[in-house]
Amino acid sequence: MRRWQDQLERAQVLEAHLVDQLMAARQELYSIGYLALQEADSPPVQALEERISRLERRLNEVHWHQFEALQRLNEYGLDDDSSQGL
């Protein structure tokens, strides 16, 4: 039971970190704006788009781990109030 609570807490911390990184990367791409559209095949723009894609995949993995931990905790009959937004 404690294992799933720990996993949920770690996933919540990692989620916040990944969301911050993802927002920063998207903001960077947005700030490039029109240039990013014109230079979509340039290495810096491609690297930024790949970074965003990796962050999105990692965030999805973290959400899956949160879901799994919540399911396990529910099997034990525990509800975590901090996870109600998931």
User: Where do the domains of the chain lie?
Assistant: 2-80
Phi-psi sector, 77: left (phi>0), alpha (psi -120 to 50), beta: left
- The whole-model pTM stands at 0.75
Asked whether 52 and 26 are in contact (CB, 8 A), the reply is yes
Asked whether 64 and 7 are in contact (CB, 8 A), the reply is no
Altogether, the residues listed in the chain come to a count of 86
Determine the Cα–Cα distance for residues 49 and 41; give it in Å rounded to an integer: 10
Q: How confident is the model at residue 41, as a pLDDT? A: 80
Consecutive sets of 10 residues in the chain, 86 residues long: mean pLDDT of each? 89 96 93 75 87 97 94 78 50
Asked whether 17 and 57 are in contact (CB, 8 A), the reply is no
Q: How confident is the model at residue 62, as a pLDDT? A: 96
